[in-house]
Amino acid sequence: MDKLIFVLGVLASGQVFASCNAESPIRFDKEANHILLDNKHRLMWMDCVIDPATKACLTDNQSSFSATAKQALEIATSATLEGHSNWRLPNIKELVSLFAHECEAENAKLVMQVPERLNYVWTSTTASNGNSAGLLVLSTVSTQITPWGLSRTGPAVLLVRDINQTVE
């Protein structure tokens, strides 16, 4: 497991040091109703943190957004947002591509409507098994990947779906 985390960390750090190119095509398009299209990776993101209680975008006056892994998985599998019911938790590679960029145009945290205090986000990538079973979380500040127990709270929920999936 430690080797997997090390390899993922190395891959993430390689993404950070990629050069900025001003002539690159526009990566993100903001759509109405909290939709962010990632043209580079063909993904549709909810551009907000999902409130575990309402399973909707967190509003400005709400302060709590942390969820357990079980809550995060339940939210992802049951959410129907903006006419789509095939939302899911992002995998570690998708989250790294979202937050691990020095280029402003490539850093989704600058275009998404996420709280400034957002530190960790749940991924669908599993960590270990047995007593330490859980999911990996990504630090949005350092892009450090950390195993997190299933019943611990703290990370927030972001949802993603493939753009090429049929409209429901």
Which tens digits make up the pLDDT trace of 124-156?
Answer: 998 766 555 678 998 888 888 888 877 888 898
Domain that holds residue 12: 2-159
* Structural domain count, the chain: 1
Q: Are 43 and 161 in contact (CB under 8 A)?
A: yes
- 165 in a structural domain: no
- 167 in a structural domain: no
How far apart, in whole angstroms, are the C-alpha atoms of residue 167 and residue 48? 21
Average pLDDT of every residue of the chain: 78
Confidence bin at 45 (pLDDT 50/70/90): very high
Per residue in 7-31, pLDDT tens?
Answer: 555 555 444 444 566 666 778 888 8
Question: What residue has token string 């500040």?
Answer: 141
Q: Are 52 and 157 in contact (CB under 8 A)?
A: yes
- 166 in a structural domain: no
- 164 in a structural domain: no
Mean pLDDT confidence for 40-50 = 90
- 168 in a structural domain: no
3-17 CB burial, b ≥16 within 10 A, e <16: ebbeebeeebeebee
- 75 in a structural domain: yes
Q: Are 23 and 105 in contact (CB under 8 A)?
A: no
Question: What residue has token string 């551009």?
Answer: 47
Q: Is the pLDDT of residue 95 over 80?
A: yes
- Among 3-7, 28-32, 77-81, 123-127, the least confident range: 3-7
